[in-house]
Structure 1
Amino acid sequence: MQPVVLMNVFEVPSGSEQTFLLWWKEHSELFRDEPGFINAWLYRSVSDDAHFSFINIAHWETADCLAAARAKHITGHPAPPDIKGHPALYALEVQY
């Protein structure tokens, strides 16, 4: 089974960036020690007019590992109410 990539794009209202960053760092720490976690990165848009202010990219050994970790942590640590995430899971299709 090949690793999977979680890509989660976030809508973060202007003025809520620090709240989001604190939540993301705290939330990410919960996943760091879970079985199957490989790594995670958070990217911030360099454009003021970007629809998605932040993009989280996390690599997991399997989709099942991610599902188990999410089941354990998501409900107790929701994003702040004004922040909306759009997560999707991907597998490598083509590599150059």
Structure 2
Amino acid sequence: MISYLLVSVASCTNTNKPDHQRKTKKTKTDKSNHVVLINPFEVPEGKLEEAISYWEACRDFLKEQPGYVSTKLHKSIKDGAKFELINVAVWENPKAFSEAAQKMVQELGVAPVEGLKPTPSLYTIVRQ
């Protein structure tokens, strides 16, 4: 299911370098067409490290796909937050993201974390 894929998808960068310093397969495009994936995760108790490892595997796959721009994983500073992790990723367009997510599901070979509940959606920027 695509929406479950989005869970891990937007999740890929080199953890040792900021996004602007990484070499990725990017094409020049009008940034105004970019879309933002915002994907909050409900993480089962005791599964935080497993969820982060899963996100990293997805990120590492997706960062090599056409249309990938950047991603960051955020952790709540509040104990007991409903969404302990939130992934924010930028893609060149919805089609690139959808194709990358489908490819990841077919090729990644990593099982999702039991009980991990993503709630992904794509957005456009309307004000700055």
**TM-score scaled by length of structure 1:** 0.92
Superposed CA RMSD: 1.3
The reply on whether 1:63 has 2:91 as its aligned counterpart is no
Separation (CA, whole Å) in 2 of partners of 1:22 and 1:72 = 19
Where relative contact order (Cα < 8 A, 6+ residues apart) is larger, the structure is 1
For residue 89 of structure 1, report the CA deviation from its aligned partner. 0.4
**Percent of matched pairs sharing the same residue:** 32
For residue 78 of structure 1, report the CA deviation from its aligned partner. 5.0
Question: Which protein is richer in helix relative to its size?
Answer: 2
What residue number does 2:25 align with?
A: none
Amino acid of the residue matched to residue 33 of structure 1?
Answer: E
Aligned length: 95
- Runs (4 or more) in structure 1 with deviation over 4 Å come to 75-78
Amino acid of the residue matched to residue 6 of structure 1?
Answer: L
For residue 71 of structure 1, report the CA deviation from its aligned partner. 1.0
Separation (CA, whole Å) in 2 of partners of 1:78 and 1:84 = 14
Separation (CA, whole Å) in 2 of partners of 1:9 and 1:83 = 10
Separation (CA, whole Å) in 2 of partners of 1:25 and 1:3 = 22
Alignment of 1:75-94 (within 5 A): 75=106, 76-94=109-127
Q: Deviations over 1:43-83 (max 9, x none)?
A: 00000121000000000011110011011113554521211
Separation (CA, whole Å) in 2 of partners of 1:3 and 1:92 = 9
Alignment of 1:45-56 (within 5 A): 45-56=76-87
Separation (CA, whole Å) in 1 of partners of 2:77 and 2:34 = 29
**TM-score scaled by length of structure 2:** 0.70
Q: Which runs of 5+ in 2 are unaligned?
A: 1-31
Amino acid of the residue matched to residue 84 of structure 1?
Answer: K
